[in-house]
Amino acid sequence: MRYLKIADSNLEVSEIGLGCMRISDMQNNEVERLIHTAVNAGINFFDHADIYGDGKSEEKFSEVLKNYPGLRQKIIIQSKCGIRKGYFDFSKDHILSSVDGILTRLKIEQLDVLLLHRPDTLIEPEEVAEAFTLLEKQGKVQHFGVSNQNPMQIELLSKFLAQKILFNQLQLSITNTGMIDSGLNVNMEIDASIDRDGSILDYCRLKEITIQPWSPFQFGFFEGAFLDNPKFPELNKTIDKLAEAKGVTNSAIAIAWILRHPAKMQPIVGTTNPERLDAICKATDITLTRQEWYEIYRAAGNRLP
């Protein structure tokens, strides 16, 4: 496993993080095995959200921390808040109460990273700034970030924050490449040239904000996995060929494709299968060539100008 040094922080995170959204329905021994598989593979970064399993995912995770007291010091825990039933809420009161709930469920005293979960159009950045500063002073949260925010939303928030935004969770996979497409098709009158997110990829690189791709195996918006999917014959043929040549699985190639980008992203994988997780982590043992990266990109149906 390779590691990323996060700018303007003391964080050194594994290139691959484990998303814990789906562990709420697992048995405790299954969660324990998954987490230990991750740690043994070199993963030190675990991603949560207060809405995952209505908080049960964090509770399940806390049971493993309780059974293995030394584990907490070896890992980095991230959680998110701001999504409520039917609306978003970045108010100071909600952020503060959400963090208290997260810490209670995880049974920890400090959260390493807190992200605002998706944008709230009613955001009052002054309130967010007050909440972040209070959480930092109280020692409840060490670092902060956002998810699915564009450059101007981050700029607006950053104007009032004393803390730096370190992370931005964004959807990215081989079949969801909007943030890449628009940069390749500049000044062209085709759909791929449409900049839907304000050049967020280049912005995050300029500001040294680490992008955390979520759903790296999904196509569309949770429409299913593209790997081994007959809807993507050319893509899977290309991926399988490279997987065989490099002695890894197709899932490792899919993650290696993301890791090859010089933006130094940190994909968050959500598998609950320990064997698959171990295979995915082999992605950090290989580096795709420029030619291989573009071959996969074209096989996904993208055309180069």
- The arithmetic mean of pLDDT across residues 93-100, rounded, is 98
Q: How confident is the model at residue 222 (pLDDT cuts 50, 70, 90)?
A: confident
**pLDDT of 43:** 98
CA 203 to CA 183: how far, in whole Å?
Answer: 12
CATH at 23: 3.20.20.100
Does 226 fall in a domain? yes
Q: How many whole angstroms separate alpha carbon 116 and alpha carbon 133?
A: 14
3-state secondary structure the chain: CCEEECCCCCCEEECCEEECCCHHHCCHHHHHHHHHHHHHCCCCEEECCCCHHHHHHHHHHHHHHHHCCCCHHHCEEEEEECEECCEECCCHHHHHHHHHHHHHHHCCCCEEEEEECCCCCCCCHHHHHHHHHHHHHCCCEEEEEEECCCHHHHHHHHHHCCCCEEEEEEECECCECHHHHHHHCCCCCCHHHCCCCCCHHHHHHHHCCEEEEECCCECCCCCCECCCCCCCHHHHHHHHHHHHHHCCCHHHHHHHHHHCCCCCCCCEECCCCHHHHHHHHHHHHCCCCHHHHHHHHHHCCCCCC
Q: Are 41 and 277 within 8 A, CB to CB?
A: yes
Closest CA to 226 of 292, 163, 189, 177: 177
pLDDT of residue 221: 87
**What percentage of the chain carries pLDDT values higher than 70?**
100
Q: How confident is the model at residue 36 (pLDDT cuts 50, 70, 90)?
A: very high
Nearest-10 crossing angle of helices 250-259, 233-246 = 90
pLDDT bin (cut points 50, 70, 90) of residue 253 is very high
pLDDT at residue number 187: 96
By residue range, what is the domain housing residue 92?
3-299
Kindly state whether residue 229 falls inside one of the protein's structural domains.
yes
pLDDT for the residue 41: 98
d(CA 72, CA 106): 11
Tell me whether residue 174 is in a domain: yes
Q: Is residue 156 part of a domain?
A: yes
Q: Is residue 304 part of a domain?
A: no
Instruction: Burial-class residue 277 by CB neighbours within 10 Å (0-12, 13-18, 19+).
Output: buried
Across 227-244, average pLDDT = 98
d(CA 24, CA 58): 8
Question: Looking at the predicted structure, is the pLDDT value of residue 65 above 90?
Answer: yes
Alpha-carbon gap, residue 56 to 49, rounded angstroms? 10
| Segment 266-305, tens digit of pLDDT | 999 999 999 999 999 999 999 999 999 999 999 999 999 9
Task: Specify the pTM.
Answer: 0.97
Burial class of residue 200, CB neighbours in 10 A (0-12, 13-18, 19+): buried
Q: What's the rounded Cα separation, in Å, for the pair 73 and 84?
A: 31
**What is the total count of domains within the chain?**
1
Torsion sign over Cα 128, 132, 133, 137: positive
| Count of all residues that appear for the chain in the document | 305
Residue 17 is predicted with a pLDDT of 98
Give the separation between CA 167 and CA 115, rounded to whole angstroms.
8
pLDDT at 31: 98
pLDDT tens, position by position, 165-218: 999 999 999 999 999 999 999 999 999 999 999 999 999 999 999 999 999 999
Tell me the pairing of strands 87-88 and 83-84: antiparallel
Q: How far apart are CA 111 and CA 158, in angstroms?
A: 21
